[in-house]
Amino acid sequence: MADWQEVGPVRRGQRTTLDGSGNGSIVFSVFSANSKFELDTVVVKAAGALPAIFPQVTLYKGLNMQDAMSHGASWLGGQVTFRGHIEMNNADDLTVGFAKGVAGTVVTAIIEGKNFLWR
């Protein structure tokens, strides 16, 4: 009988540059329809010309960046570690949203947790 089986850790990172309004987002997806991630850590950091003005950071389950989908937020995203449990499958992306930063700031997000396959 098929079931979720842990196949190892997952650690993925992406970066983006904040737009002219100081906003941006990074979207993480699972590998396939037969995959799921159980995340326990999301690390974000920002670096740019004016590192004293860091963006606000919010985690959203899915692509829709609405408060009802929020899974935590930080007032300052210079370097923040979110800890908790977020389960992602092929229908649930994780969006890391950045707001009120300085245009041109490079922001990075790293997700860490367990990778599962349906077998």
**Residue 38 scores a pLDDT above 90:** yes
Could you give phi then psi for residue 18, rounded to 5 degrees? Answer: -65, 140
pLDDT, tens digit, 9 for 90 and up, residues 69-107: 666 667 665 788 888 899 998 888 999 999 888 888 899
CA 21 to chain CA mean position, Å: 20
CB 10 within 8 A of CB 80: no
Which domains, and CATH codes, for the chain?
A: 4-118 (2.60.120.730)
**Residue 25 scores a pLDDT above 80:** yes
**For the chain, counts of helices (H) and of strands (E):** 0, 8
CA distance 70 to 58: 7
pTM for this one? 0.86
CB 115 within 8 A of CB 10: yes
